[in-house]
Homo-oligomer: A and B are copies of this chain.
Amino acid sequence: MTFDPDATGLAYRHYDPDEVVMGKRLEDHLRFAVAYWHSFAWPGGDPFGGQTFDRPWFPDTMDGARLKAEAAFEMFDLLGVPFFCFHDADIRPEGASFAESRKNFEEIIGIFERKMATSKTKLLWGTANLFSHRRFMSGAATNPDPDVFAWSAATVKNCMDATHRLGGQNYVLWGGREGYETLLNTDLKAEMDHMARFLSMVVDYKHKIGFKGTILIEPKPQEPTKHQYDYDVATVFGFLQRYGLETEVKLNIEQGHAILAGHSFEHEIALANALGVFGSIDMNRNDYQSGWDTDQFPNNVPEVALAYYEILRGGGFKTGGTNFDAKLRRQSLDPEDLLAAHAGAMDVCARGLKAAARMLEDGTLETMRRERYAGWKTPASTELLSSDLATIAAKVEAEGIDPQPRSGKQEILENIVNRYV
């Protein structure tokens, strides 16, 4: 896959990894990652139908797993992506016992390690699948059964070890089952305490093994649960503060999950930046009309531009990147579909980031934002903020203060954005 703006076939038309934007190569800005699970392990099922994809590596055996690893690194190379991400359950068959699963896992990690010695593709993040197996049906860290907490802790330990061994830049926790189906059988307080304790162990273990990457939580409001504790950025931030973890943990924000929680993607990113907990993104969109997580490849440049605008305003990615936690539509059966989906998505992101950079460099939006709040930059307003209600009330009457509204200029601002996208 090469950069060729005039290509008729499969190519990058907008994503030139070496193009320099705001002093940095596009590749280093965008930090693309391919998701192992959706791209290589997902069979194409949905709640009303089963497998549609037919891949040679689907037999859930160690042979299948080895073949899958071959195929994955072949595609990483073909796409030239700098990163990938994986769960333990994506890469190895479940064993008959925890120990056997671990051995299976470690063998594949060994294969990854050898592949990565020569591949340009590095590990953006590792994570543990604590939601698919029936043992997790009532939660992992929040399970009513302490044995599941233990199993989950042991699993995360192994996944963190593997992530560290492979030089991963982050470690992600998505609590897909950390929530409830019915409040009637749920002890909210105990479950949140257990979840926090679990997270503290993760942070401690990170330091113990000297892992320098970032611990990331990925919020989602619901699905598969009726309610997930990591609802959105604001909720997770409140949780982290409550348990004193807000300086240790950052967020991996997914467009689709933002939508499900009633927010725009750019809102969630801007809020995480304002709260100092922005980490990484899953750049896969949800269909606005579908009430579930459709995990589609991004295709709307103006929307993507607004997301990268907030990322760039916040200083860009540090250890984070742009992961495609995106799956093909289940009718997109062909290998070509998988390549085209990634290439198209990367082009959309490249266009979005370049537009965002131009908006930021040209500065009109930020100038207008600053001017709107200019009144707050005066000594009088500083005094106001350090005053008290009674003093202010006296002043309002004494000075006959009578504030007059000024236009918020929303349409003009939207027009400005449209000059860049």
Contacts and interface: CB of A to CB of B under 8 A. Distances in A.
A187 interface: yes
A146 to B, nearest CB: 4
Given A340-B415, A410-B331, A102 B137 contact: no
Contacts of A46: 47, 224
Interface stretch (A24-32, A72-80, A113-121, A257-265): A257-265
A160 interface: yes
A136 B49 contact: yes
A147 B399 CA distance: 11
Contact of A184 (B143, B330, B410): B410
Interface string A37-79: 0000000111111111000000000000000000000000000
A149 interface: yes
Contact of A407 (B136, B145, B260, B333): B333
A167 interface: no
Contacts of A403: 135, 143, 145, 147-148, 150-151
Q: How many copies does the complex hold?
A: 4
A263 B227 contact: yes
Interface in A381-410: 381, 384-385, 387-390, 392-393, 395-397, 400-410
A288 to B, nearest CB: 4
A36 interface: no
B262 A392 contact: no
Contacts of A150: 384, 392, 395-396, 401, 403
A101 B344 CA distance: 41
A144 B204 contact: no
A124 interface: no
Interface residues of A, number: 155
A297 interface: yes
Interface stretch (A15-23, A229-237, A247-255, A315-323): A229-237
Nearest to A102: B397
B223 A405 contact: no
Interface string A213-235: 00000000111101100011011
A162 to B, nearest CB: 13
B185 A410 contact: yes
Nearest to A261: B262
Contacts of A135: 403-405
A291 interface: yes
A304 to B, nearest CB: 10
A417 interface: yes
A46 B48 CA distance: 10
A144 B372 contact: yes
A111 interface: no
Given A375-B144, A401-B147, A293 B408 contact: no
A214 to B, nearest CB: 17
Contacts of A176: 48
Q: Across chains A and B, which 7 residue pairs bring their CB atoms closest together, nearest first? A: A291-B291, A238-B238, A331-B408, A344-B415, A154-B393, A341-B411, A147-B403
8 contacts: A151-B396, A157-B393, A184-B417, A201-B392, A208-B388, A221-B262, A297-B414, A337-B411
